[in-house]
Chains A and B, each alone.
Chain A
Amino acid sequence: MQFFFEVLIAGLLSGVMYALVALGFVLIFKASGVFNFAQGAMVFFAALTTVGLKEEFGLSLWLAIPITMVVMVLLGIATERIVLRPLVNQHDITLFMATIGLTFFLEGLAQLIWGSNVRRLDLGIQDVPIEFVMDKTGMLISQFDVIAAIICAILVAALAILFNKTKVGRALRAVADDHQAALSVGIPLQHVWAIVWAVAGFVALVAGLLWGSRNGVQFALTFVALKALPVLILGGFTSVPGAIVGGLIIGASEKLAEVYIGPYVGGGIEGWFPYVLALVFLLVRPEGLFGEKIIRRI
């Protein structure tokens, strides 16, 4: 039984890490209806820029992070200007494709500037079991994961306040509901999109730092997006809380499935299991758990 809980908790904590990446997708999809494939590349770009600034220019981490933040905001604004603005009102899939183009561009740019070396990122958080919990219950729970979960919680709270309590948030929600109506009541669509991309850049930075310090800053960071997709479809593309709840469900169930079902079918099912699980959920609720209900009219 103790082992079960250990797996469950490890899964939930992994789920938080997935949710962190999924958040960036949600933000952009919510405000602009764009399925931003480049989110993974943004995570990689942000992490690599931070480490690059730290190692190549000898900056301290706490200086490198704000500078990267500025870079990510500029990147967001540039993306809106150069890529999205000319494509307003195009088909969803065209916009999706444009973000794939952006992915290649960012991947090339990141490695052109900083080289292809694998780098280490040390945030000063030890990735070791918390001794207190280990002594009390015999379960191994990583300190790093707990801190990551706290950071994620703060981030979600901040985003919730941004969306629900501020003027910018209202504008964001208005744009999300209906671009044209928002435009006609005088909300500057371009600004709103630029803000959303900048915020998504910030989320990518946080995700990049946490994932990067866990796995090393390397090209494979772009792959964490694959872990975020089932979270996204399960939680709903348009819901911030959905990303968290989806992350927890996906994280916990994939670990439990791998440990308890995996051995019977040869293992390695973590790659597809979350997708199948999300698919089953979708059959019941086609817009995800918390997604906006899709009403279809003729």
Chain B
Amino acid sequence: MKLKFAKAMIVSAVAAATALTGALASAQEQFIPILSYRVGLYASGGSGFFGGAIDYFNLVNANGGINGVKISWEECETEYNATRGVECYERLKKKGGGASLVEPLGTGIAYGILDRLPTDKVPMTTLGYGRSDAANGQVFPYVFPLITSYWNQAAGMIKYLGDKEGGIEKLKGKKIVHLYHDSAYGKEPFPVLEAYEKSIGFQLIKIPVPHPGTEQNSQWLQIRQANPDYVILWGWGVMNAVAIKTAARVGFPREKMLGVWWAGSEEDTIPAGDAAKGYTTMTFNTPGNYPVIDEIRKKVYGAGKGNLSDKDRIGSVYHMRGVTAAMLWIEGIRNAQNKYGKGKVMTGEQIRWGLENINVDEKRQRELGALNMFPTIKTSCQDHEGSGAVKVQVWDGKAWKAVTPNWVTGDRAMVQKMVAESSAKYAAEKKITPACLPG
């Protein structure tokens, strides 16, 4: 019995060793590690996002790669767990000629690898999460919170609510509840919301929901008692569906709820059923169909290479976010190739420069088949976000629809000032001298 087991161990060890040597990608390909999570609490979002990214890789490869350079990738399961994520990063960062960039799609993992990036010279994108102050590329040269950050989102929220009232100053005297996931994530927008509270003069009531948020009766009774004009839902995971359902139970109109983008996917509204009808959230993708999504349907899923097991999820919020992320990565790599040599495999350092000089205007979006799918982006050393614009979408019971035809931007100057202050504090703590890295 014991012997058999020992034998099994040896066999598996040998298998692992062959796996290590066998899986090395050829050096002629641009290698991108995929730190995905497909089990556990957040698997539904993870499978959509990373599925979208991989679908886009397949599309790029089907179209001949980036100036002939094919993309290769390898997945590693992180379980949304910082320790596993760090291990995955360390395992994959030197593979296939070196990792081009990473995107862990999880705050804990992002923080775990944050300090390792400059030494390893691997850029990291954090699409729609992570430190808002990382937008300052002088302090965080290797971090790219592309498109927009939590602070810009919070500013966008207030702007949108103000527009709804017919001008931001009309919010004066109104009551806004910030219902948040009781964690660092939920507290991230505090500085922005508090600044607006002071400058406009509305009343901000902050109500935390303890993790995981499967039960919110007391919070919503408090909300009903306060009778606010709007509720900002800064939730995550199961908390969102429960919030929507509990709102229905206490009879709070869903139209007056405004969710954060992590509360704005099919995964959040479908479990809430009819209760979710009319519920609005922020987003950085315009819901709808785009030529690039059709192309993915045809060339990737048509060839049987699709990553999603459920074809109905093509073009869903998380899938589209994955496609968007991959599109921006490829743009970064393409930029780098334009500067450092077309048709060559780029290093992490070169791609960092590429990501710092993304310029996707409407013309480029049209070429990519993604006109208006995400806001136009122009990154620079001072601004690793590149946009800061957001959109509002509404759930009509079956699908998400855009509410605001144009992109909404809050008080960017204020947010930029806060980014500068906060990143300066970080730089002082870490003894970093802020500076732009040379190309």
Q: In the complex, how many residues of chain A place their beta carbon closer than 8 angstroms to a beta carbon of chain B? A: 48
Residues of A with C-beta under 8 A to B241 = 118, 215-216, 218
Considering only residues 9-66 of chain A, those with a C-beta below 8 Å from chain B are 10-11, 13-14, 17
Are B214 and A128 in touch, CB under 8 angstroms?
no
A105 interface residue (CB < 8 Å to B): no
Inter-chain contact count A-B, CB under 8 Å?
124
Are A128 and B248 in touch, CB under 8 angstroms?
yes
Q: In the complex, how many residues of chain B place their beta carbon closer than 8 angstroms to a beta carbon of chain A? A: 45
B267 interface residue (CB < 8 Å to A): yes
Taken residue by residue from 106 to 149, chain B's Cβ proximity to chain A (1 for < 8 Å, 0 otherwise) reads as 00000000000000000000000000000000000000000000
In the complex, how many angstroms separate the beta carbon of A231 from the nearest chain B beta carbon? 12
Closest to A145 in B: B249
In the complex, how many angstroms separate the beta carbon of B345 from the nearest chain A beta carbon? 33
Residues of A with C-beta under 8 A to B206 = 267
Instruction: Tell me which of B43, B221, B267, B309 contacts A10 (CB under 8 A).
Output: B221
Closest to B242 in A: A215
* Interface-facing stretch out of B33-41, B370-378, B385-393: B33-41
Are B208 and A266 in touch, CB under 8 angstroms?
yes
Closest to B241 in A: A216
Residues of A with C-beta under 8 A to B41 = 219-220
In the complex, how many angstroms separate the beta carbon of B212 from the nearest chain A beta carbon? 5
Are B249 and A140 in touch, CB under 8 angstroms?
yes
Q: Which of B40, B212, B218, B222: most chain A Cβ within 10 A? A: B218
Alpha-carbon distance between A161 and B46 when the two chains are bound, in angstroms: 46
A287 interface residue (CB < 8 Å to B): no
* Interface-facing stretch out of B271-279, B331-339, B424-432: B271-279
Instruction: Tell me which of B44, B211, B221 contacts A117 (CB under 8 A).
Output: B44
Instruction: Tell me which of A116, A128, A218, A219 contacts B249 (CB under 8 A).
Output: A128
Taken residue by residue from 103 to 131, chain A's Cβ proximity to chain B (1 for < 8 Å, 0 otherwise) reads as 00001100100011111101000011100
Residues of B with C-beta under 8 A to A144 = 249
B22 interface residue (CB < 8 Å to A): no
In the complex, how many angstroms separate the beta carbon of A217 from the nearest chain B beta carbon? 7
Residues of B with C-beta under 8 A to A255 = 217-218, 221
In the complex, how many angstroms separate the beta carbon of B379 from the nearest chain A beta carbon? 33
In the complex, how many angstroms separate the beta carbon of A227 from the nearest chain B beta carbon? 7
Are A219 and B43 in touch, CB under 8 angstroms?
yes
Residues of B with C-beta under 8 A to A10 = 217-218, 221
Considering only residues 190-241 of chain B, those with a C-beta below 8 Å from chain A are 206-212, 214-215, 217-219, 221-222, 224-225, 237-238, 241
Are B271 and A120 in touch, CB under 8 angstroms?
yes
Are B208 and A268 in touch, CB under 8 angstroms?
yes
Main SS class of interface, B: helix
Main SS class of interface, A: helix
Considering only residues 84-119 of chain A, those with a C-beta below 8 Å from chain B are 107-108, 111, 115-119
A205 interface residue (CB < 8 Å to B): no
Alpha-carbon distance between A270 and B215 when the two chains are bound, in angstroms: 9
Are A216 and B40 in touch, CB under 8 angstroms?
no
Known: A111-B39, A127-B275, A219-B43. A118 touches B248 (CB 8 A): no
B251 interface residue (CB < 8 Å to A): yes
Considering only residues 111-166 of chain A, those with a C-beta below 8 Å from chain B are 111, 115-120, 122, 127-129, 140, 142, 144
Alpha-carbon distance between A218 and B268 when the two chains are bound, in angstroms: 10
Are A140 and B40 in touch, CB under 8 angstroms?
no
Are B310 and A215 in touch, CB under 8 angstroms?
no
Taken residue by residue from 209 to 233, chain A's Cβ proximity to chain B (1 for < 8 Å, 0 otherwise) reads as 0010011111110011001000000
Are A223 and B212 in touch, CB under 8 angstroms?
yes
A3 interface residue (CB < 8 Å to B): yes
B188 interface residue (CB < 8 Å to A): no
Are B218 and A270 in touch, CB under 8 angstroms?
yes
Q: List 24 A-B contacts (CB under 8 A).
A: A10-B221, A13-B217, A108-B39, A111-B39, A115-B309, A115-B310, A116-B47, A117-B44, A118-B241, A118-B267, A120-B271, A129-B250, A140-B224, A215-B238, A216-B270, A216-B271, A219-B40, A220-B41, A224-B214, A255-B221, A258-B218, A267-B206, A268-B208, A270-B210
Query: Beyond A140-B250, A220-B238, A267-B182: 4 further Cβ-contacts under 8 Å?
Result: A6-B221, A117-B310, A142-B249, A215-B245
User: Which residues of B are at the interface with A, using a C-beta cutoff of 8 A?
Assistant: 38-44, 46-47, 182, 206-212, 214-215, 217-219, 221-222, 224-225, 237-238, 241-242, 245, 248-251, 266-267, 270-273, 275, 309-310, 313
